Amino acid sequence: MTSVDSYITLGRSGLRVSPLGLGTMTFGDDHGWGSSVETSEAILTDYLERGGNLIDTANSYTNGHSEKIIGDYFAARPGLRDRVVLSTKFLTNLFPGDPNGGGGGRKGIIGQLNESLRRLQTDYVDLYWLHGWDQGAPIEETMSTLNDLVTAGKVRYIALSDVPAWVATQAQMIAAFRGWAPVTALQLEYSLLERTPEGELLPMAQALGMGVVPWSPLRGGKLTGKYTRDGGVDGDRAAVMAAVFGEPGEQEWPIIDTVAQIAKDLGVSSAEVALAWVRGRPGISSTLIGARTIDQLHTNLASLDVTLTAEQRATLDEVSTPTLNFPARFTTGISPAVAFGGMTVDGTTYPGMNQGGKY
């Protein structure tokens, strides 16, 4: 059994985080569907009292209100801020008409960090994430600026979110060659309904020492059991997520149904099964959970008590097997079979393909 205070080392670093991180995109009801300030603070208190230590936000969440709620919370509790891993992101421009108000350039990064520090009422953040790829900003400039912020003590660790694998690789290699602070973690969408990161992003992260922190492990609520085949959706939040992610498609229903059946067999919720599957995947460090209510937080945290059998994992793996881009099929199947056909290497037995030398 795992608990939220069974900490995990993040990537190739000395930073330890909870297996479930608290995502705060829902903090603030500015958009008409999030959590009130009072509920947000109650969620923070519950998560922290259970031993959780990773809090994830972004300058864009509820237009900065999420950061302010978190900042006000810790300002009212002296000494607590240094006991948590506070994580925020940059890229989103909150200043219309200012082309340097966001993005991954030096001026934009420094300006965004200063604004985030002001809202969070702290003088540093533990994890600072590039929240997407700014195609107009050289990655050397982005990484150089982030390294300077680490040197200045305003940022403890550098991380990337929602970027192509080749961009993340380029960033990590440049940092290594220049002796700059490395990329510690990679945030990406990953769930039973979104497994395409297995083609490039997950292997890249494991090879280059980046801890993987999945977001939307429930695919916008599709894996919570709130959707029905007749097109129904239970709850206001689920309805909002349906507008963002769309209703479940025909290819998704077999996966949703399989999750529901395993959940029934175990006597738990679909959300708990889906979260347990993600948490047990290779390369995953801390999985982000979002909660608009205390009950949702408790349901998500309860997934730490769920242990899937090898058979149940195999069933979920099979029903959700993704179609990956080239050369994934060669990399995971044909190439090792050619190299080691008929032999067992590192615990895997490969089918025979080699004909043997003839000359």
Active site residues: 61
Tokens standing for residue 58: 């972004």
189: part of which helix (H) or strand (E)? strand 183-189
Tokens standing for residue 159: 């991380």
Q: For residues 109 and 142, is the Cβ–Cβ distance under 8 A?
A: yes
Cβ neighbours of 335 (radius 10 Å): 13
* Angle, helices 270-279/294-302, rounded to nearest 10 degrees: 50
155: part of which helix (H) or strand (E)? strand 155-161
What span, in angstroms and rounded, lies between the C-alpha atoms of 298 and 296?
Answer: 5
What span, in angstroms and rounded, lies between the C-alpha atoms of 124 and 282?
Answer: 31
Cis peptide before 197 (omega within 30 of 0): no
107 φ, ψ (degrees, to nearest 5): -60, -45
What span, in angstroms and rounded, lies between the C-alpha atoms of 55 and 4?
Answer: 13
Q: For residues 155 and 192, is the Cβ–Cβ distance under 8 A?
A: no
One-letter amino acid for residue 343 of the chain: M
What span, in angstroms and rounded, lies between the C-alpha atoms of 89 and 161?
Answer: 8
Tokens standing for residue 262: 């395993």
Buried b (16+ CB within 10 A) or exposed e, 6-34: ebbebbebebebbbbbbbbbbbbbeeeeb
CB-neighbour burial class of residue 348 (10 A; exposed 0-12, middle 13-18, buried 19+) = exposed
